[in-house]
Amino acid sequence: DYAAARTFGFLIEVETLKANGLARGGSLDNAVVIGDDGILNEGGLRYADEFVRHKIMDSVGDLSLAGYSLVGHVKAYKSGHDLNHKLVTEILSRPDCWKLVDSGSYTASTAVAPLASADLAWSEA
């Protein structure tokens, strides 16, 4: 279950966002806030891996902006909206790395071998 995983951020960032008129709908009910001494939310995290679950939801949502259902495997390290956007942009700019498959004829064997893999990697170090 990933849908109940909340977005998260640091208290100092929340204060800055709110001071600039942003994050107006954010609260301890719908976001995990981390202060100097740990998580500020009463009851803590909903799941031990709530941050990871939310990152998975972010990635699924970001990749859906490609406009198609994607069949594939994504392995991400320190991903975020910006990196996910770069991935979608790169994939769509490389027609040699993907193909459209009619959903009615799709089977698990349709996508057994990737069309490309290693050259779609970034290091933001």
pLDDT of residue 106: 65
pLDDT tens figures, 66-125: 888 787 788 888 889 999 999 999 888 988 888 887 777 666 655 444 444 444 444 444
Q: Check pLDDT > 60 for residue 61.
A: yes
Residue 63 has pLDDT above 60, yes or no: yes
Task: Say if pTM beats, i.e. exceeds, 0.85.
Answer: no
Confidence of residue 31 (pLDDT cuts 50, 70, 90): very high
9 exposure class (CB count in 10 Å sphere: 0-12, 13-18, 19+)? middle
**Is pLDDT above 90 for 37?**
yes
Average pLDDT of span 47-70: 91
| Radius of gyration of the chain measured on its C-alpha atoms | 18
Residue 73 designated active-site: no
Give residue 110's pLDDT. 53
Closest CA to 117 of 73, 82, 76, 78: 73
Over 80: is that where the pLDDT of 54 sits?
yes
Domain spans in the chain, listed from the N-terminal domain onward: 1-48, 52-100
| Average pLDDT, integer, range 50-72 | 90
